[in-house]
Protein backbone atom coordinates (compact mmCIF):
# COMPACT_ATOMS: atom_id res chain seq x y z
CA UNK A 1 0.00 0.00 0.00
CA UNK A 2 1.50 3.32 -1.10
CA UNK A 3 2.35 5.76 1.67
CA UNK A 4 -0.11 8.70 1.53
CA UNK A 5 1.46 12.06 0.59
CA UNK A 6 0.77 13.80 3.91
CA UNK A 7 2.27 13.70 7.38
CA UNK A 8 -0.06 16.11 9.21
CA UNK A 9 -3.81 16.55 9.40
CA UNK A 10 -3.46 20.05 7.95
CA UNK A 11 -1.75 18.60 4.88
CA UNK A 12 -4.55 16.05 4.47
CA UNK A 13 -7.11 18.86 4.41
CA UNK A 14 -5.06 20.81 1.87
CA UNK A 15 -4.63 17.83 -0.45
CA UNK A 16 -8.31 16.88 -0.19
CA UNK A 17 -9.28 20.43 -1.10
CA UNK A 18 -7.22 20.15 -4.28
CA UNK A 19 -8.62 16.72 -5.12
CA UNK A 20 -12.36 17.12 -4.43
CA UNK A 21 -14.90 19.22 -6.34
CA UNK A 22 -15.33 22.42 -4.29
CA UNK A 23 -18.99 21.86 -3.40
CA UNK A 24 -18.21 18.41 -1.99
CA UNK A 25 -15.24 19.68 -0.01
CA UNK A 26 -17.27 22.59 1.39
CA UNK A 27 -20.09 20.30 2.44
CA UNK A 28 -17.73 18.37 4.67
CA UNK A 29 -15.45 21.10 5.95
CA UNK A 30 -17.05 24.44 6.60
CA UNK A 31 -20.76 24.69 6.09
CA UNK A 32 -23.37 24.86 8.81
CA UNK A 33 -26.99 24.50 7.83
CA UNK A 34 -27.56 28.23 8.34
CA UNK A 35 -24.68 29.10 6.04
CA UNK A 36 -22.35 30.13 8.87
CA UNK A 37 -19.44 28.36 10.51
CA UNK A 38 -19.35 29.94 13.98
CA UNK A 39 -19.70 26.68 15.89
CA UNK A 40 -17.34 24.86 13.54
CA UNK A 41 -14.59 27.38 14.23
CA UNK A 42 -15.34 27.53 17.97
CA UNK A 43 -15.18 23.74 18.27
CA UNK A 44 -11.56 23.89 17.15
CA UNK A 45 -10.55 27.15 18.85
CA UNK A 46 -11.71 26.23 22.35
CA UNK A 47 -8.99 23.59 22.73
CA UNK A 48 -6.49 26.46 22.78
CA UNK A 49 -8.02 27.72 26.04
CA UNK A 50 -6.45 24.75 27.83
CA UNK A 51 -2.72 24.48 28.49
CA UNK A 52 -0.70 21.53 29.70
CA UNK A 53 0.99 21.39 33.09
CA UNK A 54 3.82 18.87 32.53
CA UNK A 55 5.56 16.84 35.22
CA UNK A 56 9.28 17.54 35.65
CA UNK A 57 11.71 14.60 35.50
CA UNK A 58 8.83 12.18 34.76
CA UNK A 59 10.45 10.03 32.08
CA UNK A 60 8.35 7.19 30.65
CA UNK A 61 10.13 5.45 27.76
CA UNK A 62 6.93 3.64 26.76
CA UNK A 63 3.46 5.13 26.89
CA UNK A 64 0.22 3.13 26.88
CA UNK A 65 -2.46 4.51 24.56
CA UNK A 66 -4.97 1.70 25.13
CA UNK A 67 -8.29 2.16 26.85
CA UNK A 68 -11.70 0.48 26.84
CA UNK A 69 -14.97 1.56 25.29
CA UNK A 70 -18.16 -0.22 26.25
CA UNK A 71 -16.07 -2.70 28.18
CA UNK A 72 -13.84 -3.78 25.32
CA UNK A 73 -10.24 -2.69 24.70
CA UNK A 74 -9.20 -0.32 21.93
CA UNK A 75 -5.60 0.38 20.96
CA UNK A 76 -6.27 4.09 20.44
CA UNK A 77 -8.69 6.45 22.24
CA UNK A 78 -9.85 7.84 18.90
CA UNK A 79 -13.07 6.48 17.35
CA UNK A 80 -14.24 7.12 13.79
CA UNK A 81 -17.55 8.97 13.72
CA UNK A 82 -20.21 8.84 10.99
CA UNK A 83 -20.15 11.88 8.66
CA UNK A 84 -21.89 10.00 5.82
CA UNK A 85 -21.32 9.97 2.08
CA UNK A 86 -17.89 8.34 2.24
CA UNK A 87 -18.24 6.75 -1.20
CA UNK A 88 -18.52 10.21 -2.74
CA UNK A 89 -15.16 11.17 -1.26
CA UNK A 90 -13.47 7.98 -2.46
CA UNK A 91 -14.91 4.92 -4.26
CA UNK A 92 -13.47 2.60 -1.58
CA UNK A 93 -15.83 4.30 0.86
CA UNK A 94 -16.99 2.80 4.13
CA UNK A 95 -15.40 -0.65 3.65
CA UNK A 96 -12.01 1.08 3.50
CA UNK A 97 -12.81 3.17 6.57
CA UNK A 98 -13.82 0.09 8.55
CA UNK A 99 -10.72 -1.81 7.44
CA UNK A 100 -8.52 1.11 8.51
CA UNK A 101 -10.24 1.28 11.90
CA UNK A 102 -9.75 -2.44 12.34
CA UNK A 103 -6.06 -2.18 11.47
CA UNK A 104 -5.66 0.60 14.05
CA UNK A 105 -7.52 -1.37 16.71
CA UNK A 106 -10.36 1.09 17.12
CA UNK A 107 -14.08 1.50 16.36
CA UNK A 108 -15.80 2.61 13.16
CA UNK A 109 -19.28 4.11 13.52
CA UNK A 110 -21.18 3.62 10.26
CA UNK A 111 -23.51 6.28 8.90
CA UNK A 112 -26.93 5.38 7.53
CA UNK A 113 -25.96 6.71 4.08
CA UNK A 114 -22.36 6.00 3.24
CA UNK A 115 -22.84 4.47 -0.21
CA UNK A 116 -22.31 0.76 0.56
CA UNK A 117 -24.37 -1.83 2.40
CA UNK A 118 -23.46 -2.85 5.91
CA UNK A 119 -22.92 -6.37 4.61
CA UNK A 120 -20.27 -5.06 2.19
CA UNK A 121 -18.60 -3.21 5.03
CA UNK A 122 -18.51 -6.30 7.22
CA UNK A 123 -17.15 -8.45 4.38
CA UNK A 124 -14.30 -5.98 3.84
CA UNK A 125 -13.49 -5.75 7.55
CA UNK A 126 -14.55 -9.03 9.16
CA UNK A 127 -12.73 -8.34 12.43
CA UNK A 128 -13.41 -4.62 12.78
CA UNK A 129 -15.42 -3.22 15.65
CA UNK A 130 -18.51 -1.65 14.07
CA UNK A 131 -21.21 0.53 15.58
CA UNK A 132 -24.27 1.60 13.60
CA UNK A 133 -25.54 5.18 13.64
CA UNK A 134 -29.30 5.63 13.26
CA UNK A 135 -31.66 8.46 12.38
CA UNK A 136 -35.42 8.10 12.10
CA UNK A 137 -35.61 10.02 8.82
CA UNK A 138 -36.99 7.04 6.89
CA UNK A 139 -39.53 6.08 9.51
CA UNK A 140 -39.76 3.41 12.18
CA UNK A 141 -40.09 0.47 9.81
CA UNK A 142 -36.86 1.29 7.97
CA UNK A 143 -35.06 2.00 11.23
CA UNK A 144 -36.12 -1.37 12.64
CA UNK A 145 -34.91 -3.06 9.46
CA UNK A 146 -31.56 -1.32 9.76
CA UNK A 147 -31.26 -2.23 13.45
CA UNK A 148 -31.93 -5.88 12.64
CA UNK A 149 -29.32 -5.94 9.89
CA UNK A 150 -26.79 -4.21 12.12
CA UNK A 151 -27.37 -6.90 14.72
CA UNK A 152 -26.97 -9.52 12.01
CA UNK A 153 -23.48 -8.39 10.94
CA UNK A 154 -22.26 -8.16 14.51
CA UNK A 155 -22.40 -4.43 15.18
CA UNK A 156 -21.68 -4.14 18.86
CA UNK A 157 -23.46 -0.86 19.57
CA UNK A 158 -26.22 1.35 18.25
CA UNK A 159 -25.60 5.09 18.15
CA UNK A 160 -28.71 7.29 18.11
CA UNK A 161 -28.05 10.84 16.94
CA UNK A 162 -30.46 13.13 18.78
CA UNK A 163 -29.36 16.68 17.92
CA UNK A 164 -30.38 16.95 14.26
CA UNK A 165 -34.00 18.04 14.52
CA UNK A 166 -34.72 19.78 11.22
CA UNK A 167 -33.19 19.89 7.75
CA UNK A 168 -33.57 23.18 5.84
CA UNK A 169 -34.43 22.93 2.15
CA UNK A 170 -31.25 24.79 1.23
CA UNK A 171 -29.08 22.07 2.74
CA UNK A 172 -31.26 19.41 1.21
CA UNK A 173 -30.56 20.87 -2.23
CA UNK A 174 -26.83 21.00 -1.51
CA UNK A 175 -26.69 17.35 -0.50
CA UNK A 176 -28.81 16.48 -3.52
CA UNK A 177 -25.99 17.74 -5.72
CA UNK A 178 -24.51 14.29 -5.15
CA UNK A 179 -27.30 12.46 -6.95
CA UNK A 180 -27.69 11.15 -10.47
CA UNK A 181 -30.37 13.69 -11.31
CA UNK A 182 -28.26 16.68 -10.32
CA UNK A 183 -24.75 15.55 -11.25
CA UNK A 184 -24.62 18.18 -14.01
CA UNK A 185 -24.85 20.89 -11.35
CA UNK A 186 -21.30 20.17 -10.30
CA UNK A 187 -20.04 18.70 -13.56
CA UNK A 188 -17.78 21.67 -14.29
CA UNK A 189 -16.21 21.34 -10.86
CA UNK A 190 -15.63 17.64 -11.44
CA UNK A 191 -13.90 18.20 -14.78
CA UNK A 192 -11.43 20.41 -12.95
CA UNK A 193 -10.70 17.55 -10.55
CA UNK A 194 -9.69 14.80 -13.03
CA UNK A 195 -8.31 12.30 -10.48
CA UNK A 196 -11.49 12.43 -8.43
CA UNK A 197 -13.65 12.26 -11.56
CA UNK A 198 -11.75 9.26 -12.93
CA UNK A 199 -12.32 7.31 -9.72
CA UNK A 200 -15.95 8.37 -9.61
CA UNK A 201 -16.60 7.24 -13.20
CA UNK A 202 -14.75 3.93 -12.73
CA UNK A 203 -16.99 3.28 -9.75
CA UNK A 204 -20.04 4.24 -11.81
CA UNK A 205 -19.02 1.85 -14.60
CA UNK A 206 -18.37 -0.99 -12.18
CA UNK A 207 -21.78 -0.47 -10.58
CA UNK A 208 -23.55 0.22 -13.90
CA UNK A 209 -24.79 3.41 -12.31
CA UNK A 210 -23.78 6.79 -10.94
CA UNK A 211 -22.73 6.25 -7.30
CA UNK A 212 -24.70 8.38 -4.89
CA UNK A 213 -24.69 8.96 -1.18
CA UNK A 214 -28.18 7.52 -1.24
CA UNK A 215 -27.62 4.81 -3.88
CA UNK A 216 -26.71 2.00 -1.50
CA UNK A 217 -28.24 2.88 1.85
CA UNK A 218 -27.72 0.58 4.77
CA UNK A 219 -31.48 0.02 4.95
CA UNK A 220 -32.83 -1.89 1.94
CA UNK A 221 -36.08 -2.59 0.17
CA UNK A 222 -38.59 0.23 -0.02
CA UNK A 223 -36.40 2.50 2.05
CA UNK A 224 -33.76 2.41 -0.70
CA UNK A 225 -36.28 3.76 -3.19
CA UNK A 226 -37.27 6.49 -0.75
CA UNK A 227 -33.67 7.54 -0.25
CA UNK A 228 -33.10 7.86 -3.99
CA UNK A 229 -35.71 10.60 -4.16
CA UNK A 230 -33.53 12.82 -1.95
CA UNK A 231 -33.21 13.57 1.71
CA UNK A 232 -36.31 14.05 3.85
CA UNK A 233 -37.94 17.44 3.79
CA UNK A 234 -38.24 19.93 6.66
CA UNK A 235 -41.35 18.26 8.07
CA UNK A 236 -39.77 14.83 8.45
CA UNK A 237 -38.70 13.54 11.85
CA UNK A 238 -34.95 12.99 11.76
CA UNK A 239 -33.88 12.47 15.36
CA UNK A 240 -35.79 10.30 17.84
CA UNK A 241 -37.89 11.68 20.66
CA UNK A 242 -37.34 10.40 24.18
CA UNK A 243 -40.52 8.34 23.81
CA UNK A 244 -39.07 6.56 20.77
CA UNK A 245 -36.49 4.83 22.95
CA UNK A 246 -39.15 2.46 24.26
CA UNK A 247 -39.34 0.62 20.94
CA UNK A 248 -35.67 1.25 20.09
CA UNK A 249 -34.66 -0.67 23.21
CA UNK A 250 -37.04 -3.46 22.24
CA UNK A 251 -35.62 -3.64 18.72
CA UNK A 252 -31.95 -3.48 19.73
CA UNK A 253 -30.24 -6.03 21.96
CA UNK A 254 -26.92 -4.43 22.86
CA UNK A 255 -25.18 -1.29 24.11
CA UNK A 256 -26.85 2.02 23.31
CA UNK A 257 -24.88 5.19 22.59
CA UNK A 258 -26.65 8.55 22.45
CA UNK A 259 -24.86 11.27 20.50
CA UNK A 260 -25.59 14.98 20.50
CA UNK A 261 -25.85 15.88 24.20
CA UNK A 262 -24.79 19.32 25.47
CA UNK A 263 -26.79 19.85 28.66
CA UNK A 264 -27.05 18.24 32.09
CA UNK A 265 -30.81 17.72 31.75
CA UNK A 266 -30.45 15.91 28.43
CA UNK A 267 -27.61 13.80 29.82
CA UNK A 268 -29.89 12.65 32.65
CA UNK A 269 -32.70 11.92 30.20
CA UNK A 270 -30.26 9.85 28.12
CA UNK A 271 -29.45 7.79 31.19
CA UNK A 272 -33.14 7.36 31.90
CA UNK A 273 -33.75 5.83 28.46
CA UNK A 274 -30.88 3.38 28.83
CA UNK A 275 -27.76 5.00 27.42
CA UNK A 276 -24.58 3.03 28.05
CA UNK A 277 -22.51 5.89 26.64
CA UNK A 278 -23.10 9.54 25.80
CA UNK A 279 -21.34 11.55 23.11
CA UNK A 280 -20.98 15.24 23.91
CA UNK A 281 -21.41 16.79 20.48
CA UNK A 282 -22.89 19.76 18.64
CA UNK A 283 -22.91 17.78 15.41
CA UNK A 284 -19.57 19.20 14.36
CA UNK A 285 -21.09 22.66 14.13
CA UNK A 286 -23.61 21.57 11.48
CA UNK A 287 -27.16 22.56 12.29
CA UNK A 288 -26.95 25.55 14.62
CA UNK A 289 -24.02 27.93 14.54
CA UNK A 290 -24.92 29.69 17.78
CA UNK A 291 -24.29 26.82 20.16
CA UNK A 292 -21.45 26.24 22.61
CA UNK A 293 -18.52 24.09 21.64
CA UNK A 294 -18.66 20.45 22.62
CA UNK A 295 -15.50 20.70 24.72
CA UNK A 296 -16.92 23.54 26.79
CA UNK A 297 -19.91 21.34 27.72
CA UNK A 298 -17.94 18.20 28.52
CA UNK A 299 -17.61 18.92 32.25
CA UNK A 300 -21.31 19.71 32.58
CA UNK A 301 -22.28 16.37 31.05
CA UNK A 302 -19.68 14.45 33.06
CA UNK A 303 -21.03 15.94 36.29
CA UNK A 304 -24.59 15.00 35.36
CA UNK A 305 -23.65 11.45 34.36
CA UNK A 306 -21.53 10.96 37.49
CA UNK A 307 -19.94 7.73 36.29
CA UNK A 308 -23.18 5.99 35.31
CA UNK A 309 -22.22 5.84 31.62
CA UNK A 310 -19.15 6.39 29.51
CA UNK A 311 -18.76 9.86 28.01
CA UNK A 312 -17.03 10.61 24.71
CA UNK A 313 -16.14 13.95 23.11
CA UNK A 314 -17.01 14.74 19.47
CA UNK A 315 -16.59 17.87 17.32
CA UNK A 316 -13.50 19.93 16.61
CA UNK A 317 -10.87 17.27 17.33
CA UNK A 318 -8.03 17.94 14.90
CA UNK A 319 -4.81 16.79 16.59
CA UNK A 320 -3.47 14.45 19.20
CA UNK A 321 -3.20 17.20 21.80
CA UNK A 322 -6.96 17.76 21.46
CA UNK A 323 -7.56 14.13 22.33
CA UNK A 324 -5.26 14.31 25.36
CA UNK A 325 -7.04 17.44 26.62
CA UNK A 326 -10.47 15.81 26.26
CA UNK A 327 -9.32 12.71 28.11
CA UNK A 328 -7.68 14.78 30.85
CA UNK A 329 -11.03 16.52 31.39
CA UNK A 330 -12.73 13.15 31.80
CA UNK A 331 -13.79 11.84 28.39
CA UNK A 332 -13.23 8.13 27.79
CA UNK A 333 -12.42 8.66 24.10
CA UNK A 334 -12.71 11.21 21.30
CA UNK A 335 -14.48 10.88 17.96
CA UNK A 336 -13.22 12.30 14.68
CA UNK A 337 -15.05 12.79 11.37
CA UNK A 338 -13.67 15.43 9.04
CA UNK A 339 -9.96 14.51 9.50
CA UNK A 340 -10.33 10.89 8.45
CA UNK A 341 -12.68 11.79 5.60
CA UNK A 342 -9.94 14.03 4.22
CA UNK A 343 -7.50 11.13 4.48
CA UNK A 344 -10.01 8.90 2.69
CA UNK A 345 -10.44 11.44 -0.11
CA UNK A 346 -6.68 11.66 -0.65
CA UNK A 347 -5.67 8.00 -0.47
CA UNK A 348 -8.54 5.66 0.38
CA UNK A 349 -7.90 3.15 3.15
CA UNK A 350 -4.22 4.11 3.34
CA UNK A 351 -5.26 7.72 3.89
CA UNK A 352 -7.51 6.82 6.82
CA UNK A 353 -4.77 4.64 8.29
CA UNK A 354 -2.34 7.54 7.95
CA UNK A 355 -4.70 9.90 9.78
CA UNK A 356 -5.02 7.44 12.65
CA UNK A 357 -1.24 6.96 12.68
CA UNK A 358 -0.79 10.73 12.96
CA UNK A 359 -3.17 10.87 15.91
CA UNK A 360 -1.39 7.94 17.53
CA UNK A 361 2.02 9.58 17.13
CA UNK A 362 0.83 12.95 18.39
CA UNK A 363 -0.96 11.52 21.43
CA UNK A 364 2.13 9.51 22.29
CA UNK A 365 4.40 12.55 22.03
CA UNK A 366 2.11 14.67 24.20
CA UNK A 367 2.03 11.95 26.86
CA UNK A 368 5.83 11.74 26.75
CA UNK A 369 6.29 15.47 27.14
CA UNK A 370 3.79 15.98 29.95
CA UNK A 371 5.24 13.03 31.84
CA UNK A 372 2.15 10.81 31.76
CA UNK A 373 2.65 7.06 31.31
CA UNK A 374 -0.78 6.24 29.86
CA UNK A 375 -4.06 7.70 28.70
CA UNK A 376 -5.73 5.87 31.61
CA UNK A 377 -3.81 8.06 34.06
CA UNK A 378 -4.72 11.38 32.48
CA UNK A 379 -6.69 13.74 34.71
CA UNK A 380 -7.22 17.43 35.26
CA UNK A 381 -3.91 17.84 37.07
CA UNK A 382 -2.18 17.73 33.68
CA UNK A 383 -4.08 20.84 32.53
CA UNK A 384 -4.06 24.55 33.29
CA UNK A 385 -7.71 25.59 32.97
CA UNK A 386 -8.62 29.30 33.00
CA UNK A 387 -10.69 30.51 35.95
CA UNK A 388 -14.36 30.50 35.09
CA UNK A 389 -13.92 28.33 32.01
CA UNK A 390 -17.28 26.67 31.33
CA UNK A 391 -15.79 23.27 30.59
CA UNK A 392 -14.83 22.77 34.22
CA UNK A 393 -18.36 21.61 34.97
Catalytic residues: 283
Enclosing H/E stretch for 383 = strand 383-384
Distance between CA atoms of 187 and 311, rounded to whole angstroms?
A: 43
Distance between CA atoms of 164 and 234, rounded to whole angstroms?
A: 11
Conformational region of residue 120, where left means phi above 0, alpha means psi within -120 to 50, and beta covers everything else: alpha
CA-wise closest residue to 113 among 219, 26, 21: 219
b/e per residue 137-157 (b: at least 16 CB within 10 A): bbbeebbbbbbebbbebebbb
Please count the other Cβ atoms lying within 10 Å of the Cβ belonging to residue 161: 24
List beta partners, residue 333: 312
Asked whether the beta carbons of 252 and 276 are under 8 A apart, the reply is: no
Amino acid sequence: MTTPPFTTIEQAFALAKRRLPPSIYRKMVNQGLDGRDLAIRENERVFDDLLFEPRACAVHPRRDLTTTVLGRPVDLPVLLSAPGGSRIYHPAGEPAVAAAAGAAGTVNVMSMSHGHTIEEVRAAAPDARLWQQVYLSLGREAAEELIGRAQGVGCEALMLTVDFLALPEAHQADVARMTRQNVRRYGVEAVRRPRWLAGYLRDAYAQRDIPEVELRPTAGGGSAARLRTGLPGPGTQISPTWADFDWINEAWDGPLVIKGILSADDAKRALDVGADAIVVSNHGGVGLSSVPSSLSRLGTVLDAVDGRAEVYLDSGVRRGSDVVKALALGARAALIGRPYMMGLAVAGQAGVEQVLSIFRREIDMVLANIGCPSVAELDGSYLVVPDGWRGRG
